[in-house]
Amino acid sequence: MKSRRIDEQIAEFIGKYTPELQLQLGQCRTKFRSLFPHGYELVFDNYNALVFAISPSERSSEALVSIVAYPKWVTLFFLQGARLKDPARLLQGKGVQVRSIRLENSAQLDDPAIRSLIAQATESQKADFEVAPPVTTIIKSISGKQRPRRPAARK
Whether residue 41 lies inside any domain: the answer is: yes
Whether residue 66 lies inside any domain: the answer is: yes
pTM across the whole model: 0.92
User: What span, in angstroms and rounded, lies between the C-alpha atoms of 101 and 117?
Assistant: 10
Whether residue 145 lies inside any domain: the answer is: no
User: What span, in angstroms and rounded, lies between the C-alpha atoms of 88 and 101?
Assistant: 12
Q: Residue 100's CB: how many other CB atoms inside 10 A?
A: 18
Residues in the chain: 155
CATH number at residue 6: 3.90.1150
When divided into structural domains, the chain yields a total of 1
User: What span, in angstroms and rounded, lies between the C-alpha atoms of 44 and 152?
Assistant: 22
pLDDT profile of the chain (155 residues), mean per 10: 78 94 96 94 95 96 95 96 95 95 95 96 94 94 85 71
pLDDT of residue 108: 96
User: What span, in angstroms and rounded, lies between the C-alpha atoms of 106 and 114?
Assistant: 12
Domain boundaries, position 65 = 2-137
Whether residue 123 lies inside any domain: the answer is: yes
User: What span, in angstroms and rounded, lies between the C-alpha atoms of 37 and 42?
Assistant: 14
- What are 16-45's pLDDT values in tens digits? 999 999 999 999 999 999 999 999 999 999
Whether residue 147 lies inside any domain: the answer is: no
Whether residue 19 lies inside any domain: the answer is: yes
User: What span, in angstroms and rounded, lies between the C-alpha atoms of 142 and 92?
Assistant: 27
pLDDT of residue 148: 77
Instruction: Determine contact, residues 140/42, Cβ cutoff 8 Å.
Output: yes
Whether residue 35 lies inside any domain: the answer is: yes
Whether residue 77 lies inside any domain: the answer is: yes
pLDDT of residue 1: 41
